[in-house]
Amino acid sequence: GDSVTQMEGPVTLSEEAFLTINCTYTATGYPSLFWYVQYPGEGLQLLLKATKADDKGSNKGFEATYRKETTSFHLEKGSVQVSDSAVYFCALSGGGSYIPTFGRGTSLIVHP
């Protein structure tokens, strides 16, 4: 079945550092790929998405490019802020099954 693998956290950075959170996936078909963010005490919310190969999703300074050849969708941000501290989930849907598939989440902690 479909699966999503994310790097384990927590990822701890200083403010203004560069962020990469790795995400790879396994799916049949051509899934859409998503990054969701969960701030403390809240539900998940969409951060960005990409629906086909080579698409780049971007929002709030975060970017991720749908790489079909490496089955990856790594999340990047050039300069993180303390307010970016949250848990980030990579997800896919529309692959081999209609069940949305989430990674295990990566906690990001940004220090001033």
Q: Which of 3, 18, 23, 13 is nearest to 88 (CA)?
A: 23
Degrees (nearest 5) of the Cα angle 58, 78, 72? Answer: 55
Given a contact cutoff of 8 angstroms between Cβ atoms, the answer to whether 77 and 62 are in contact is yes
Dihedral sign (CA 95, 58, 48, 103): positive
Nearest to 94 by CA among 63, 61, 66: 66
Q: Is 38 in the site for other proteins (CB under 8 A)?
A: yes
74 binding other proteins? (CB under 8 A): no
Helix (H) or strand (E) holding 95: none
Q: Shortest gap between Cβ of 6 and other proteins (angstroms)?
A: 11
Q: Binding of other proteins at residue 97 (CB under 8 A)?
A: yes
Give yes or no for residue 42 binding other proteins (CB under 8 A).
yes
Instruction: Give the residue, chosen from 35, 50, 105, 108, that forms a contact with other proteins under the rule CB under 8 A.
Output: 105
Between 14 and 29, CB nearer to other proteins: 29
**With binding defined as CB under 8 A, does residue 26 bind other proteins?**
no
Per CB under 8 A, residues contacting other proteins are 31-32, 34, 36, 38, 42-46, 49, 51, 87, 89, 93-94, 97-100, 102, 104-105, 107
